[in-house]
Structure 1
Amino acid sequence: MLRIAICDDDKILVTQIEEMLNRYLDKKMIDRYIEIFYDGASLERIYEKGDRFDIIYLDIEMSGKNGIEAAKSIRRLDRDVLLIYVSSYETYFMQLFEVEPFRFIKKPIKETEFEEVIDFAYERIIEEDAYFEYKYNKTVGKVLIRKIMYFESAGRIVNIHTEESTYRYYGKLDEVERRLVQNKIPFLRIHKSFYVNFHFVDKITFSKLILSDGTVLQISQDRQNIIRKRYLDILGGYTE
């Protein structure tokens, strides 16, 4: 069953999102549980009690605690939930890095765009148990792709960095990129030596990424504009 939360102080918009969700999920024959919240504080309290969701639709501008502040609290408790922002405000992109949004839907909502985003989110949830397999010293290992923070190339060695450990094998980063290009978890090739899981990016400047554990990775000069554009694409296709 898909567990979905909608958090917005606009009751008309909440009803619209719920109706579009039910139409889509009925068509796909997907069981769901949908819970409605009209402010960020209520959603935060539910999370503190131990409830979890697969997807949360969040407005940015709400009375009381806004969507960014609520998401910061949620992220401390749940790194896996997919946050989809629904807003008419495009000025918050840089602030959103810290909460790792999955997508951004612009108001007024177009149903075709809405369905594309939920379709992509559902595929992502299904793929969450996908593994990256590698071979080292005649031993085959595997790591959950969603747990990989970044790949690092060091000569003939590829290091796989997770929050808990680092794994290594002989290979090339170009081959890693080819293997993961169709995966729904977005990775960013920020440098010839680094391939980074977008969902572990905490902050970005023009020349570097800062990951959730404080790791700082350099963005090569020739890729800086590409990386910024790619980030906007991931957020929902805004390029301006």
Structure 2
Amino acid sequence: MQSILSAEAFHFEWLEDFSYDIILLDIQMAELSGIELAKLIREKDKHIQIIFVTAIPDYIGEGYDVDAINYLIKPISEEKLRECLSKAINKKEIQPKSILIEIDGGVHRIYEDSIMYLEIEGHELFIHQEDKTISIRKPLSEMEELLSMDEFIKPHRSYLVALKYIKYIDSKKITLKNRTTILISRGNSKEVQRKFFNYFKRDVK
């Protein structure tokens, strides 16, 4: 647990380290309010658990846009705090799995379900997401250890592909839902098709 005294200080800290799971925000702060800070956080992280703390119940309605899971009205009892944190922890456990990646000296959280595919070129690893691509220097083998490999396939030594984003597979290539095509190396075709077929069967149950 970490305590930070201002919204500005937390925002700076959070941009360097995306590893926070649950945040308690006071709505009334000196310059940047808790609501304004929550909106900035939601631009980059849709899953982090936000709990607002306030002495004025009138502010409660302002939190719906940022999907706050609860509000604590001051003074806060220990029982109410425990109940609220327990709810946040339980909700977090059903959130998509995430991994932490070091980028430019900071730590960033990437949710597995946002990754379409990973591609290695030389020493550079490209993490292709729906809305952006991140470049880091890390071997593909390390990502295999971090990711849930029952959600990904490896059609080629240079690629990991998320099964959920695949639209079509034939003997030579994978076509993703955004029309990106990825070649399947010789000898991998049957295994790739088998894994996709098994994933599809599981998904439609």
Provide TM-score, normalisation by structure 1: 0.43
Q: Greater Rg, structure 1 or structure 2?
A: 2
Provide the TM-score with structure 2 as the length reference: 0.50
